[in-house]
Amino acid sequence: MPEAASLAEAVDALADRFRSMPQSRLLGAVPGHPSRAAAALALAGRLATAAQAAEGAADGAGGPAAPPREFPDAGAFAAGDQLAVAGHDLAAALTALPAQALVPLPEPLGGPAAAPAVLARALAEVAATAALCG
């Protein structure tokens, strides 16, 4: 899925914004989150969970999705790096899948979806977080 490169680009742009934010801005509250860093960590966790599901689909697991691994909170100054890693993991996992592969996302992320829908949802979430934390 070559379009997954657009996810890596979008995540890199947002991660760079977080890396350049001063502490006061990183720790400033935004709607739905106690801080911008927490919003980035929440997004990184969702992207990491989707990447784990996509990797399971690439492995041909076929069964129910494995329980998502906990995404660690490495602190406000690591939010950009964590976001970049999770986004690149998802982009790589989606690239490895056939175009219409079914990704066994867990129900909190919307349940199973075709790879293009997972990519579209991830791009929308990155854009929403960028707007929220702008």
| Model confidence pLDDT, tens digit, residues 63-88 | 555 666 788 899 999 999 999 999 99
pLDDT of 99 reads: 83
Confidence (pTM): 0.91
Identify the CA nearest to 77 among candidates 14, 13, 19, 12. 19
pLDDT bracket for residue 56 (50, 70, 90) = confident
Mean pLDDT (whole number) for 4-30: 97
Residue % of the chain over a pLDDT of 70? 90
Q: Pseudo-torsion of CA 126, 130, 132, 134, nearest 10°?
A: 170
What mean pLDDT value characterizes the chain? 91
Residue 61 has pLDDT above 80, yes or no: no
- Give the residue, 129 or 59, on which the prediction is more confident: 129
pLDDT of 74 reads: 94
Rounded distance between C-alpha atoms, residue 114 and residue 101, angstroms: 5
